Each structure stands twice: as structure tokens, then as C-alpha cells.
Chains A and B, each alone.
Chain A
């Protein structure tokens, strides 16, 4: 099982007239993994997801979803949460969940039972018989997430599952994802918030301006950018003479502090030890793991900033 791929994209491209929404995306999502589609708004994440789900047809390229050429053929094994959230306002919470489960081939009785179980498990048991329109936005969104997974799908695709949720509900969402993953589902989700991806993803796809920028594990992503240490209280020329030190640049934020690039094959501890050895007195020494956010900014650059202001 685990050697198979839940999703394979090969040269997937989507054009709307002159406009290219997605260009030549190829990737493999191994079964049982949690895969993040990252990128600024408008990068092509949603279009890619829609092509995967057979909601829009690709202009060119092929895909394989759970071994089938289109998602429609295996739709009962896929769960989908769209980016913009909405439900039938007049239906009761449990009925919405049961309805979408029925559309995915779950029998009527089973669907009703699962709806109640899920609502109970994620703290909405008391609202099962409430109409959707009476629920708060966060609760409604939870109901929709549950509606997309009530049929126990093998592949779950969540488009921006965290948007619009408060921190505690974001935590619930992360729990839902890891519960599903433990139960054996493959999960693909898109987000532009890097911290979620960093916590729960096994692998990520980074996409910007319709093109894929990176595909791989988080570690591989972090290895893409040089490691920095911030050192204060010492001359730049002395720093340059130390082993393991690459480029040295004065920090823009704090005067007297230098950002030091750790040379390939070395690590920050080496530089600290060298300082001690040489008897250099440091006023500060900061060494941190680069975050996915740093990688994102490094790879996507100005686009991300533009996107952040939207």
C-alpha cells in the first residue's frame, strides 16, 4: 500500500483563453502522507485542486487519482472541502453531513449514524439538530469539514481549511487532519499560512505564478536556504576570519549585529566554539532553525509580499 501513490500529476496545465492558471505541474503524493499545497493567493492552488477533482478539465497533462484516470471514477473514496465555505442554511447540521455522505455512496442509516458520531466527537453533539443558519461561522465550517469526511475517504482534499477559524478551532482542524491520517487517509491541503504546513505536513508543493517552485519534504525545503546566525559585539573582519563563516552582512534591524551565513558543511555551534577559543567577547549570539516562512519568502520573494497585502 504505502509504496503506491494516491495522486500523480504529470505536466498538468490549465489555460483560460490567454491566461494560464497552472503551468506544467508534476508531482506524486504517496499514500498515507500529509501533503501541503503552499503558495500566495492566486498562485493556482485552487485550480490545481479543481483539476484533481475533475471539476475543471485540464488543458493538457495527465493525472491519476487513487489509480484512476479521473476523480469522478473514484469519487466515493475522495473527500473535498472547497476554499469558500457554505452549506444549505435551512438544513440541520446532522442532515447536511448525512446528505453529503449519501452522495458518496454511504447508506442512509449509516450516514445518519456517522453524522451524529462525528458531531459528538468534535464537540458539536448539542448542535446536531440545529439548522446550519443558527450556527456560528466556525461551527458551520467544522460541520462542513465533517461533511467532507463522513464517508471515510481514502484521499481528503482540503482547500484552505484553516482560513476563518480562530486559534482553538485551528487546533481542532489540525487534530481532524492528524486523526484522519492515523486512520490511513492521504491528505492534501492548501494554505498560505506556513506554520500549519510546517507542523503537520510530510511533504509540500510550493507554487507561485502558476508554476511549481518546489516539491519535497520540509527538511529539503529548509536546506534550500542558507543558515544564518546573528552575532553582536564583534568586528566584521574578525568574524570573516573564523572557520565556518561565509558571508557577513550588517543587520538592518539592530546596529552592531551581523548576520553571518553558515558555510556549507559547517554548523553554528562550530562558529560559537571558535569565538570562545579566540577569546572574542560576544554581546549576543542567536542561532535559529529557518522557518518554512523564510523558505517561502526566499523562494517566492516579492510575490508573497504583494499577496500578503491583498
Chain B
């Protein structure tokens, strides 16, 4: 058996030295880190200030839009002050597992705050005055660390363009047809030419017609089915169809204004309305499986239910990464004829066991690196800006998912390793092997397609059915890990999986024996079965 160990050692050392291995190992934490950091960075640094032009012919709604943009900036400033305070706080409020266990799943709290602010312009404006900001900063100063840098005001997200210098000036913005205005500004919008003093294309043009208040959808007069034409209403022009933030912001503000006027017209105080709209029931979720008195569903609970999905994905990637190493190595040895030298030094069984062990080692190393870097990255990015990271860290650490992850990796690996090894032994080039795989790949992807559905209904029919398919058992069981599947099912599918693994390895070793010495095209299935039935001395 010492030869199996030598072969395993070489497989491990050689594969751990390949670029592919290191790329796989490092990509995961890097992608994880980037996926958290880059969007923030882009938002802060790279995303340009969106410049928009506003033509208000109604004379009433222009300032509503401007105020909404201002409020948006105010919210941004407040957010930044909050982050600033937490980032440089003397004692950071760490997100502990305990607090998470107690934190109920938030309902739409942020939405309500936003709405409250929309109705309380004066409050907002007060908070935004330079003095008010100065005061807020001086209030938090004592709780900050000594060497905290000065607070920097964030960049504005949106900026209005002054249209008074618009050339071709036989256009009177106050009276021109919307279509004329659009025609005049189209070159700037599609970036054929730049407006004076602008370094970037015009992001958006908002045109509010004089009779905007007549072009409304009003259920009280029943015109919903017979709505005004789009070109008669308020128009938002932009080539960017994906960044909807500005159009949403403006639309909400304008609608709010319209509704406010309606409230007033009906004798209601808009402030009162906003307070009323912010009044809700206490509505909480409970889990009957939890300990009595602590049944309220917490953030941690929710994360625990979803964390397995992430692990299923990692499991899948890890298993199919390493078994493809196995496939490629076997094909290489076969096409190089190294296999013949190996066969003169070791039995086919020893070669197979050696390869299986060596590559298993590669896989375990990769997974350990992934898990450690996952935990490391979570710990590193955890903080006021990404609270969930700290929470997820605690959940993963305390959930007992990691040992299961390792267990199901080994099971899944052994199930598939034999198949891939056997395929590798029958093929002379990687391309042939890929052809051989063909549609099988789709079958292998089932655990990925179903992982979300299984997580949503972990003990449902789909989950149970897939668990009983041995080649899916490791993935689906990982998927269901947080939902305590029935013991009978656990044992039954576990036993079936073991039987499958033993059978697969036995079958693969037979195919491997025959395959490694074959030359020419991979055999047809019928030929393969025939040669499996033939005694060895006739092969």
C-alpha cells in the first residue's frame, strides 16, 4: 500500500502546485471581498455625479423635484455621519451572536423612516444646515478615538444643470412644446455633443408640462382605464435604463406632492397623514421548533436557514473542481503512456486509491482555505457598514454546518471521483473526455438548480425525493442540514449512499483496469459492458 501513498503524495504535490489550484483557492476570497467592497467603492468614487436638466412649465413642481434631490443628499450625509461615528467609535458595538438571536427580523422599518422624512421637510432642512451638521459632529466627537480624521462631506449623487445658457436660443423653455425641448437636448442626452461647461453627457432630462396636474391617474374620477397619453404627462428622458434611482426618487416626490395636495383639499393635515401611515401593528414571526419562550424568529435564525445554500454551492464547485483534476490527470497519464510505467510498479488498485487520496487531499485543502478565508473575510469586513458579515460569521461558527460540509464533501467526492476516473481512463484527450461527459453535465447540475427550492421547503417532496437519489444525496443533505430531516431518512439515504460509493468505486476500478491500456476511440457503452463481463486474461 506504500505505493498508493507515494502516488497520493505526488498527486497532491503536483496538483497543489498548478495554477488552476491556486486560482481556485484564491478566487473565492478575492471575489467575496470584491463583491462587498467594490460596489461601495464604485458608489463613493467611480460613479459619476449624475447631471440632469429640469424644465418645469407648471411653475409649481420644479422645486418639489429639487427638494427631493436635496433630501436624498441629506439622507446620504446622515448615513455617512452614522458610519463615521461607528467606524471611529472608541468601543465598537460588535454584532454578537447573542444580540442576533434576540434581534427580530426587521419589517419594513427603513421604508417607514423614508416616508416620515418625506413628509417632514422642515425637520430635514434643519438637520441639513451647516450648523446642524457641525453640531452633530461635535456631539459625537467625545465618543470617537483620538486620531479620527475629519469628517468629509460625501459627493453629491445628482446635480442640476443650468439651462439658461442653452444655445439655439430661439427656444423659450417656459412655453416650448416638450418635443421641441427634447429635440434641442437630445444631442446632449445621447452624447453627440456636450452642453457648455459639461464634462459628461447629460444623464437625464425631466420635462413637466404646464398642465401636469390635469394629466393624472385618479381612481376617484375613475380614469384608470382611460389614462392620459404618456407624452402628455411628466417625461423622464435618459439613455440609462438600468440606474432607476433618480427617476424613482423624482416620481415618488412628485406623487407625494400630488397626494399632499389631495389631503389638504380633503381637509386633512399631511403631517398627520404621515404619522398615521407610520402606525403599524406589532407583527412577528415565530418558530414552533424553538425553545419555549424564545420562539420569535431572529435574524440569526433566518441566516441559519439560508447558510446551507451557500455551502451547497461551495460543495458543488469544490467537488467538480477536484474531480476534473482527477479526470485531467488520468487522461494525461494515459496519453503520455506514463500509466504503463505506473502499472509496472503498482497494481491498478493501488494507482486508483493513490489518485483518489491525493486529489481528496487537494480538495480538502481547497475547502479548508475557502472556509478559513470566508470566515476571515467576514470578520475583516464586519463592521457598521456590513453588519450582516459579523452576523454570518457568528452563525457559521456556531451552527455546526462546517463538520457536515466536510463530511458531505468526502461522500460527494467519493461518489463522483470513481466515475470521473473511469471516464479519464477510457479517453486519450481531455476533449474526448468532455464529449463523453456530454449531457451528463446537466444531470450533475440538478443540485444547483434546486438548491433554493430545497432551502425553502427543506422537508418537502422535492427535497425528500432528491435525497433518495444517491448521486444527489450529499448536496441535498447539505441543503437540508438546518432543517433537521427525519432520522429514518438520514440513515436510509446515508446507507444507500455508502452502498453507491462502494459500488461506484468497484465498477470504476474495473473500468480503470480495462481503460488505461486501451488505445483509440473511447468504447461505446455496449462494448464497455461486454468487456466488463469478460475475464481479465481475455482482455
Taking beta carbons and an 8 Å cutoff, which residues of A are in contact with B? 15-17, 50, 53-59, 71-72, 75, 78, 80-91, 99-100, 102-105, 147-148
Contacts and interface: CB of A to CB of B under 8 A. Distances in A.
B338 A55 contact: no
Interface in B335-363: 335-338, 340-347
B10 interface: yes
A268 to B, nearest CB: 47
B335 A86 contact: yes
Contact of A57 (B337, B342, B345, B537): B537
B340 A72 contact: no
A56 B537 CA distance: 7
A71 B18 CA distance: 34
B247 to A, nearest CB: 55
Interface string B495-539: 000000000000000000000010000000000000000001111
B482 to A, nearest CB: 42
A103 B346 contact: yes
B537 A58 contact: yes
Contacts of B338: 86-88
Given A55-B344, A100-B345, A17 B337 contact: no
B6 A85 contact: no
Interface string B1-45: 011001100100010011000000000000000000000000000
B6 A102 contact: yes
A55 B347 contact: no
Contacts of A91: 14
Given A16-B538, A55-B343, 6 more contacts: A54-B344, A75-B346, A81-B341, A82-B337, A86-B337, A103-B345
A145 B43 CA distance: 62
A53 B342 CA distance: 11
Contacts, number: 69
Q: Which 10 A-B pairs have the closest CB atoms?
A: A86-B336, A57-B537, A82-B340, A103-B345, A80-B344, A84-B337, A86-B337, A53-B344, A55-B343, A57-B536
Nearest to A76: B345
Contacts of A89: 332, 336
Contacts of A72: 347
A59 B344 contact: no
B538 A88 contact: no
B361 to A, nearest CB: 17
B81 to A, nearest CB: 55
Contacts of A81: 341
A257 B343 CA distance: 56
Residue among A17, A56, A103, A105 with the highest chain B CB neighbour number at 10 A: A103
A168 B217 CA distance: 95
Nearest to A148: B341
A132 B60 CA distance: 80
Contact of A55 (B10, B517, B537, B538): B517
Contacts of B342: 103
Contacts of B332: 88-89
B17 A90 contact: yes
Nearest to A72: B347
Contacts of A56: 517, 539
B514 to A, nearest CB: 11
B513 to A, nearest CB: 10
Instruction: Summarize B's interface: helix, strand, loop or mixed.
Output: helix
A103 B7 contact: yes
Contacts of A102: 6
A55 B160 CA distance: 81
Contacts of A50: 340, 517
B539 A55 contact: no
Contacts of B6: 99, 102-103
Contacts of B345: 75, 100, 103-104
A15 B346 contact: no
Given A56-B517, A87-B336, A99-B10, A15 B538 contact: yes
Residue among B336, B347, B539 with the highest chain A CB neighbour number at 10 A: B336
Contacts of B340: 50, 55, 80, 82, 84
Contacts of B537: 57-59
A104 B350 CA distance: 13
A115 to B, nearest CB: 14
Contacts of B517: 50, 55-56
A83 B332 CA distance: 17
Given A16-B539, A90-B17, A78 B336 contact: no
Contacts of B18: 90
A36 B143 CA distance: 91
Nearest to B347: A72
Contacts of A148: 341
A102 B7 CA distance: 10
Contacts of B336: 86-89
Contacts of A84: 337, 340
B10 A80 contact: no
B430 to A, nearest CB: 14
A84 B338 CA distance: 9
B16 to A, nearest CB: 12
A56 B341 CA distance: 13
A88 B537 CA distance: 30
A3 B520 CA distance: 43
Nearest to A103: B345
B12 to A, nearest CB: 13
A17 B14 CA distance: 39
B344 A71 contact: yes
A60 B537 CA distance: 8
B337 A103 contact: no
27 contacts: A15-B538, A16-B538, A16-B539, A50-B340, A55-B344, A57-B536, A57-B537, A59-B537, A59-B538, A75-B344, A75-B345, A75-B346, A78-B344, A80-B341, A82-B341, A83-B337, A88-B14, A88-B336, A89-B332, A89-B336, A90-B14, A90-B18, A91-B14, A100-B341, A100-B345, A102-B6, A103-B7
A55 B346 CA distance: 10
Nearest to B344: A80
Contacts of A54: 344
Nearest to B2: A105
A84 to B, nearest CB: 4
Contacts of B343: 53, 55
A103 B14 contact: no
Given A78-B344, A86-B337, A103 B538 contact: no
B342 to A, nearest CB: 7
